[in-house]
Amino acid sequence: MRFHSFLIKYGEIGIKGKNRYLFEDALVRQIRFALKEADGEFYVHKAQGRVYVDCEGEYDYEETIDALKRVFGIVGICPVVRVLDQGFEQLTKDVVAYMKEMYPEGNQTFKVEARRSRKQYPMTSMEINCELGGVILDAFPEMKVDVHNPDIRLNVEVREEIYLYSEIIPGPGGMPVGTNGNAMLLLSGGIDSPVAGYMISKRGVGLKATYFHAPPYTSERAKDKVVDLAKLVSRYAGPIELHVVNFTDIQLYIYEKCPHEELTIIMRRYMMKIAEHFAKEKGCLGLITGESIGQVASQTMQSLAATNAVCTLPVYRPLIGFDKREIVEISEKIDTYETSIQPFEDCCTIFVAKHPVTKPNLERIEKSEEKLTEKIDELMKTAIETTEVILVKP
Ligand code: ATP
Ligand code: MG
């Protein structure tokens, strides 16, 4: 079947009044962005409180659906056949042709749901329902009408043209990116942080990202992998400004001065501080990490508290109550898993102690950090000044 348009269904909650147009404009913008990845030309527009994607000429149906399935805020995607209004007689023929092609088995229950946005149309919605219902029953002797729980809901919308649709392909839900400000994702090369970014972005939040690398202990390929992950996440979240921070000197300095079992916690505290610096500079309203309680020594309740203590912005940890298995499931769904499991060294793992503290004491950690007073400010300043910013798009 050749579809000419897609009717985009979106959730109605919380989008009344002025919010509604902000929501719809963001949705239209994100749809246009996502469709750049699909083969074809599209006209995305709002009409009478709805959002439509009109397909101009040839296009790739699968790619188009895949792209729309990545736009947060979309609840359902309805492929539409548009026919010219050439009188009711012709409409009955078009409807039978539509039903034949969509439902060749011809044995389902159905209901016709007409709607007129062009009120001059010579029949009422009720009349259209009855007449078309009769025509379908005549053409398909094994079909039956069921007004309560039909297998097929045939929507007939009378607009300038007449729109026929009956399928709803589920969208990802959530809110369009751009309706809820921006947040700074601490993006590593692992499985968790890309999923964390995806989840917060799903609520309408635009992403920026910070990655800490430690050349020459971590390679250029480890960095490329993080850029690849950012690209995959940006298919959902839109363009991501990725800050690549050279963390080597800070790590070496902590390694030199602080107890080794506290390395990871202290390092993570400096990561948060630097990420927060860029977050504030870029107007982000929070930080995002892929942490989950108890996953590793640096994610016990005590460790999370110690890391959290340096932040003044809220830290969003959408995976906090997830098991690894549940996180992997999402990473497979959003296609980041295969990239995440590529084996490249991570800056955290290079300097890890054999027996890291699992119940760090904040006062003791702060005491240890006093040993860094001499040079740490200068090192932080240099790390910030030498940060490379990459604009990542799919
Ligand atoms: P992930 O799978 O996301 O790498 P992880 O299980 O390896 O997570 P940790 O290494 O303890 O866990 O990191 C916890 C969180 O801290 C990560 O989810 C990420 O948000 C952040 N993080 C860790 N390492 C880095 C890094 N090199 N650059 C940026 N953020 C990082
Ligand atoms: Mg990691």
| pLDDT tens-digit series, residues 67-88 | 999 999 999 999 999 999 999 9
Q: From ligand 2's centre to the CA of 72, what distance in Å?
A: 26
Identity (one letter) of the amino acid at 13? I
- Residue 292 Cβ inside 6 Å of ligand 1? The answer reads no
SS3 353: coil
Over residues 217-252, the pLDDT tens digits come to 999 999 999 999 999 999 999 999 999 999 999 999
Of 176, 4, 163, nearest to 85 by C-alpha is 163
pLDDT at residue 264 in the model: 92
**Average pLDDT over every residue of 129-145:** 97
Terminal-residue alpha carbon distance, the chain: 30
For residue 21, what are the contacts with CB-CB under 8 A and spacing of at least 6?
none
Q: How many CB atoms lie within 10 A of CB 252?
A: 14
Q: From ligand 2's centre to the CA of 191, what distance in Å?
A: 8
Tokens of 352: 């890890």
Give the bridge partners for 316, in sequence order. Answer: 288
pLDDT at residue 47 in the model: 85
SS3 312: coil
- Residue 320 Cβ inside 6 Å of ligand 1? The answer reads no
Q: From ligand 1's centre to the CA of 90, what distance in Å?
A: 61
**Average pLDDT over every residue of 197-213:** 97
Ligand nearest to the CA of 222: 1
pLDDT higher than threshold 70 for residue 179: yes
Ligand 1, atom 22: closest residue by C-alpha: 188
pLDDT higher than threshold 90 for residue 129: yes
CA distance 334 to 238: 14
Pocket test for ligand 1, best of 185, 186, 324 (most atoms within 8 A of CB): 186
Tokens of 206: 């635009």
SS3 172: coil
Instruction: Name the pTM for this structure.
Output: 0.93
pLDDT at residue 14 in the model: 58
pLDDT at residue 13 in the model: 61
**Average pLDDT over every residue of 291-318:** 94
pLDDT higher than threshold 70 for residue 35: yes
pLDDT at residue 376 in the model: 98
Ligand nearest to the CA of 290: 1
Q: What percent of the chain has pLDDT over 70?
A: 98
pLDDT higher than threshold 90 for residue 346: no
**Average pLDDT over every residue of 55-78:** 96
**Average pLDDT over every residue of 111-117:** 96
- Residue 295 Cβ inside 6 Å of ligand 1? The answer reads yes
Ligand nearest to the CA of 289: 1
pLDDT at residue 197 in the model: 98
Q: From ligand 1's centre to the CA of 356, what distance in Å?
A: 16
CA distance 303 to 305: 5
Of 363, 171, 349, 208, nearest to 268 by C-alpha is 349
- Residue 193 Cβ inside 6 Å of ligand 1? The answer reads yes
Q: From ligand 1's centre to the CA of 236, what distance in Å?
A: 20
348-366 burial code (b ≥16 CB/10 A, e <16): beebbeeebbbebeeeebe
Q: What percent of the chain has pLDDT over 90?
A: 89
- Residue 30 Cβ inside 6 Å of ligand 1? The answer reads no
pLDDT at residue 21 in the model: 86
pLDDT at residue 350 in the model: 66
Residue-averaged pLDDT of the chain: 95
Q: Could you identify the atom of ligand 1 that is nearest to the CA of residue 347?
A: 27
